[in-house]
Amino acid sequence: MGLMDELQNMGLGNVLGNSGAQGSNSLLPVVLQMIQNHPGGLSSLVQGFQNKGLGDIVNSWVSTGHNLPISPDQVTQALGHDQVNQMAANAGVSPAAASSSLAALLPVLIDKLTPNGQVPHQSSLLEQGMSMLNSLRTGTSG
């Protein structure tokens, strides 16, 4: 589907690099790689947010209802400073910019990766992620 278009239409153009911080367009592939490489995949990532006391927030992203917001500090709390710093380095942005972008990107991304209110099988997630990356490479210029 047009997941990249949906993300951009939902006000994430700045996160994806259309009008935002330099290098932030490389954060999306880094996030997808993090989800893919996370032991247990998306399910385990969601569980990690729940274990850090952010269950209401992350559950709203998975459910079919309204997505609750998350702050950059809460993203860092859930993922850990090391993970955010590594993602920032991989994306070529500062840790503060990465956590801020992740706070905008993760609710929409996880919502779109769980369209029926359930975490999909890993293979389905990878197919969606690859489609998203291909759209990023071919559909975005500048």
Domain count, the chain: 1
Is the Cβ–Cβ distance between 97 and 24 less than 8 Å?
A: yes
pLDDT mean over 16-44: 68
pTM: predicted TM-score of the whole model, two decimal places:
0.70
The DSSP call for residue 20 is S
Enclosing domain of residue 52:
3-134
Using a pLDDT cut of 90, give the percent of the chain over it: 39
Is the Cβ–Cβ distance between 135 and 4 less than 8 Å?
A: yes
CATH number, position 51: 1.10.10.690
In a domain, 139, yes or no: no
* Residue 101: CB atoms within 10 Å: 30
In a domain, 7, yes or no: yes
Say which residue, 17 or 73, is predicted with more confidence: 73
Euclidean distance between CA atoms 22 and 20, whole angstroms? 7
In a domain, 142, yes or no: no
In a domain, 62, yes or no: yes
Predicted confidence band at 141 (pLDDT cuts at 50, 70, 90)?
A: very low
**Residue closest to 98 by CA, chosen among 135, 73, 122, 119:** 73
